[in-house]
Amino acid sequence: METGDWLTLEMPMPWRLVRGHKMQEGRVALTRGSVLYCIGTAGNGGLIRKHPEPGDHVLDPESLGEPVADDSIRPNGLKALARAWPREGQGSPELGIVFTEFVDPTGGATYFRVPDRSDTVEDELTGEVLTIGQ
């Protein structure tokens, strides 16, 4: 390479549904690359007033598209839109949910339900962790 040459690096980052453990067993966290997404009250006020437990919603993973620009949380921030059910067994997805990056100060729920956990992955950070005193 010469001075002034450009190199473009493309790193695909598909959505990942990371399995929860212990208190979050049976739920998943929504991640893309190293970014964790959450349901914030700022972007979902009407939804949360109607359904106050957003962590009980059943996310339709097929409805997730590419993240879009959203400067409401931070400069150059991202948000994602998806559909969900208020609880299992409610037919087709009826709720529109805005997922924001976990830096969202209004962020609440980070774990959700999905209709099929076969496409979920284990969290690579939950391997054996030594604690102080071991």
- Residue-wise pLDDT for 64-99, tens only, equals 989 999 998 899 999 999 999 887 555 566 789 999
Q: What per-residue confidence (pLDDT) applies to 32?
A: 93
122 lies in a domain?
A: no
100 lies in a domain?
A: yes
Number of compact structural domains in the chain: 1
125 lies in a domain?
A: no
Q: What per-residue confidence (pLDDT) applies to 27?
A: 92
128 lies in a domain?
A: no
**Which residue segment(s) compose the domain that 49 sits in?**
15-116
57 lies in a domain?
A: yes
Q: Which residue from 115, 14, 112, 16 is spatially nearest to 66, judged by alpha carbons?
A: 14
Q: What per-residue confidence (pLDDT) applies to 133?
A: 47
Q: What per-residue confidence (pLDDT) applies to 71?
A: 93
* Residues of the chain where predicted confidence (pLDDT) is lower than 70: 88-93, 125-134
Pick left, alpha or beta for residue 133 (phi over 0 → left; psi -120 to 50 → alpha; otherwise beta): left
74 lies in a domain?
A: yes
